[in-house]
Amino acid sequence: MNTYQTPTVAAIQMSSRNDVAGNLAQANDLLRDAAARGAQLAVLPENFALMGAKETDKLSVAEPDGAGRGHTPIQEFLAEAAARYSLWIVGGTIPIASNEPDRVYPACCVYDSTGARVARYDKIHLFDVGVPDSAEAYRESATFVPGDNPPIVIDSPFGRLGLSICYDLRFPELYRRLAADGAETIVAPSAFTHTTGLAHWHVLARARAIENLVTIIAPNQAGHHASGRQTFGHSLIVDAWGSVQAEAGSDTAEVITARIDRARQTAIRDGFPCLSHRRLT
C-alpha cells in the first residue's frame, strides 16, 4: 500500500433531498470535483443518499449488506465511483437492512481506490433528544438500530483512519478509544441540525481534534430538506492542533479540501505528548 505523507482530503457537503437518484447524481459530481482537485480521500455526509420527507422513507430504500449487483444501488454507486476516480471514499451513511422490518442500520462504508469495501461502521450513538429552548425533537431509534460494533480504525494510505458519525461527536470516550487504537485521522460524516450546529458544531469538532491530536474530517448536510429540517452546513477539516484548515458555507453543496501534514502531526504528538500523560483510563 502506497503511503501519502501529505495527502489531500476532501469533505463533501450536500443538501440531500427525498430523491436517491438525484442525490447520487449530485454526489457523483462532487466526488468528481474532489478528485479533479487532487483529493485522495473524500468523505460524504450522513444520509447523503436520502434525506426523506418522513423518517420512515429510509425503510423503502434500505439495502441488504453487500448483496449482488442490481440489489444495492447506493453501495454499487460508492464502489464504482471509488474505482472511477481512483479515490478512497467514506460513504457517509446508508440505510442497511436489519432483521427488523421497521428499523435499519445507519452504516458508514469505506471503499478503497479500486472500489473494494474495506470497512463498515454502524452508528453507535443515536440522536434521541429534545433540543433545549426549541420545539425540535428527534428519535433516531424509532427507525435505526444502534451499532454494536467496536470502535473501528483501519489502515489506509493516509495513516490509521477512525470512523464515527454525527452524534458520536458528543461522546469523547469513543474518540479516545479510536486514538488509543492508533487513529491519526477520524471522520465524522454528519447531518447536524442548524440549532445544535450553531451552538456546538465547531466546538465539538475542534475539541475532538485537540484532545486526541488527530485530524477531523467532518462533512455536514446543509440547508433545508424535504422534512422541513434545517441542517447547519459549515463542513470542517480540522488539524491535530485544532486549527480549521477548511470550512464550507452554510447552505449549499460544495467540496472543501486540505492537505494533511502527517510529519507535523507526528512532531506535535512527540513534543506535546498528552496522549501518553493520561492517568485515568
Q: Would you name the residues annotated as active-site residues?
A: 46, 123, 166
- Paired with 224 in beta bridges are 230
Please enumerate in sequence order all residues whose Cβ is within 8 A of that of 55, keeping only pairs 6 or more positions apart, or say none: 142, 143, 227
Decide if 231 contacts 192 (C-beta within 8 A).
Answer: yes
Q: Which residue has the cell 442548524?
A: 194
Instruction: Give the SS3 label for residue 281.
Output: coil
Give residue 185's Cα distance to chain centre.
Answer: 12
Question: What pairing do the DSSP bridges indicate for beta strands 254-259 and 215-218?
Answer: unpaired
Query: How far are the Cα atoms of 31, 63, 95 from residue 104, in angstroms, in the given order?
Result: 26, 9, 6
CA–CA–CA angle 184, 81, 8 (5° rounding):
35
d(CA 144, CA 140): 6
